[in-house]
Amino acid sequence: MGLALEESVNSEDDHVKEVEGVNFVFAEKVLKHINGKVLDYKNDANYEGFTILDENPGSDCGGCCG
Structural domain of 47:
36-66
d(CA 43, CA 59): 26
d(CA 60, CA 26): 27
- What's residue 2's pLDDT? 63
- Confirm whether 10 is domain-assigned: no
- Confirm whether 48 is domain-assigned: yes
- Confirm whether 47 is domain-assigned: yes
- Confirm whether 2 is domain-assigned: no
| Count of structural domains within the chain | 1
- Confirm whether 6 is domain-assigned: no
- Confirm whether 66 is domain-assigned: yes
More confident residue, 13 or 40: 40
- What's residue 9's pLDDT? 76
pLDDT 10s digits, 37-51: 888 888 999 989 888
Helices (H), 1-66: 31-34
d(CA 32, CA 48): 26
- Confirm whether 41 is domain-assigned: yes
pTM: 0.50
